[in-house]
Structure 1
């Protein structure tokens, strides 16, 4: 009788296993940083950006239902991903800590150089990260600029984590920080359209020059599509599509900021 029960249990486990462990990806929730143009940003009730366009293009190719989640602070969004409350994070650095809950694409698609921004007239010689030692610096709350820079910053730098481009740049402008380390493109885009482009500059060379990736939440059913997604990303990188989307979204972001400034001048 015990043998019969054992065989029955084994048969039952074989029948149940495929439906529980290999549930298919029917719908996918996509999430992104709310203020990281031109890669992704939130404006008047909608997300825009290069990563948004790429993701929509691929998911529609797969005939998958998708939704872009509402904006939340970046640090909270990472916590949501840890607990399986989203399926896919767009355009972020691949780090060991994030690999604990994310499977990253490997295709080198979006280069995201990171720059050191300083108040104009207070530039300093920047030859390596060691040039930042002894100064007060800022990074955006929750940001990672790659494993090596993050480790160096923890060990040697005086870094403040402050939320948002606006507040970080204002701290540099007011002398409350000597520099701000952030993505070159979103930094330049913000400065160009906020009246600060003649007051804050990016010094050279870049602090970090590397790629951002797409991260599938490990506990998500949709983690199963990462191989196909990665292959199609690599295919897009061989065409002019991504470059065209980048230019399109850079212009769109600038137009939206110009529109805000024009509305502000009316009041």
Structure 2
């Protein structure tokens, strides 16, 4: 199969159709002279993406901004070794665009997504989840907001990054009872908090701390308890031409094997250090 384009732009419809024809022709060839339909040949290259503002899990490679690096990217390379395929960690845009690309089948995998009912309509989730995360409330250091439970946020103006999820239960409560503005990037959300245009920010703890350190921001603090504790999953797009029963089974078996080794704590420690090296503002 020919290599995918290296541009960070969304993968073209022409390329997607080309892959589908290759898989179809492979299936016809495997069917032999009897004309029977066979499952498409196994894809040898999978394109994965994820939230590019998610250090130490994922961020854009400063040396090649068409690529994503981080703990999740490293985990994908270990998965690729188990599967005997190539997994390309591609930057395709902000988190909202990543999900749109998965819906359209222009990327195969998302390396890190929370489970929500709407997302199951366009991608398959693999178990076990490869990590557990904490989503928390961030406020201006001068804020008097006291947070102990979700209802403490009623009447306050929140902000988060577009298309973020904090688990099915909190997402449902937020739609019904809270005022939360969605913006394109975490940096923009932090600026809104600093300027008093939002009373609180909802985001995960480790990525939030990493970005505050990079931007050298001292006047923002994290509140406890966590809003939600959610599992981080690998997903496979329904419309990916590589999505076959055979591949799903292989990925599931490989993830179970990797889960036994529990490599993510080591990968997170390594990538926290890499993020600091890539971030000159970090003290």
The TM-score range, normalised by the shorter chain, is 0.7 to 0.9
Pick aligned residue for 1:42 from 38, 50, 60: 60
| Counterpart contact for 1:42–1:71, Cα < 8 Å | no
* Equivalent position of 2:158 in the other structure: 137
* Equivalent position of 2:43 in the other structure: 25
Q: With structure 1 as the length reference, what TM-score do the two structures score?
A: 0.86
My pick for the range that moved more, 124-133 or 230-239, is 230-239
| Counterpart contact for 1:23–1:221, Cα < 8 Å | no
* Equivalent position of 1:245 in the other structure: 267
| Counterpart contact for 1:51–1:90, Cα < 8 Å | yes
Question: What RMSD, in angstroms, separates the aligned Cα atoms of the two structures?
Answer: 2.1
Pick aligned residue for 1:58 from 46, 57, 79: 79
Once the two structures are TM-superposed, the CA of residue 222 in structure 1 deviates from its matched residue by 3.0
Q: With structure 2 as the length reference, what TM-score do the two structures score?
A: 0.81
How many pairs were matched up?
247
Change (3 A) 1:123 1:86: same
Once the two structures are TM-superposed, the CA of residue 157 in structure 1 deviates from its matched residue by 0.4
What SS class does the counterpart of residue 190 from structure 2 fall into? helix
1: CA distance between counterparts of 2:45 and 2:151? 46
Pick aligned residue for 1:202 from 190, 198, 222: 222
Say yes or no: does 1:222 pair with 2:242: yes
Change (3 A) 1:205 1:65: same
Q: Which runs of 5+ in 2 are unaligned?
A: 1-30
Change (3 A) 1:72 1:23: same
Say yes or no: does 1:167 pair with 2:185: no
Matches within 5 A, 1:38-117: 38-44=56-62, 45=64, 46-117=67-138
Once the two structures are TM-superposed, the CA of residue 148 in structure 1 deviates from its matched residue by 1.1
2: CA distance between counterparts of 1:114 and 1:66? 28
| Counterpart contact for 2:53–2:59, Cα < 8 Å | yes
Provide Cα deviations, 1:141-164, integer angstroms capped at 9, x if missing partner: 121111111111111000100111
| Counterpart contact for 2:83–2:254, Cα < 8 Å | no
2: CA distance between counterparts of 1:75 and 1:233? 26
Structure 1 segments (4+ residues) deviating >3 Å: 11-14
2: CA distance between counterparts of 1:210 and 1:42? 24
What SS class does the counterpart of residue 35 from structure 2 fall into? helix
| Counterpart contact for 1:90–1:213, Cα < 8 Å | yes
User: Which of the pair is proportionally richer in helix?
Assistant: 1
Provide Cα deviations, 1:127-180, integer angstroms capped at 9, x if missing partner: 211111000000101211111111111110001001111111111111100000
Once the two structures are TM-superposed, the CA of residue 218 in structure 1 deviates from its matched residue by 1.5
Q: Which runs of 5+ in 1 are unaligned?
A: 1-10, 263-267
Q: Looking at CA atoms only, which structure, 1 or 2, has the larger radius of gyration?
A: 1
Once the two structures are TM-superposed, the CA of residue 14 in structure 1 deviates from its matched residue by 7.0
My pick for the range that moved more, 78-87 or 176-185, is 78-87
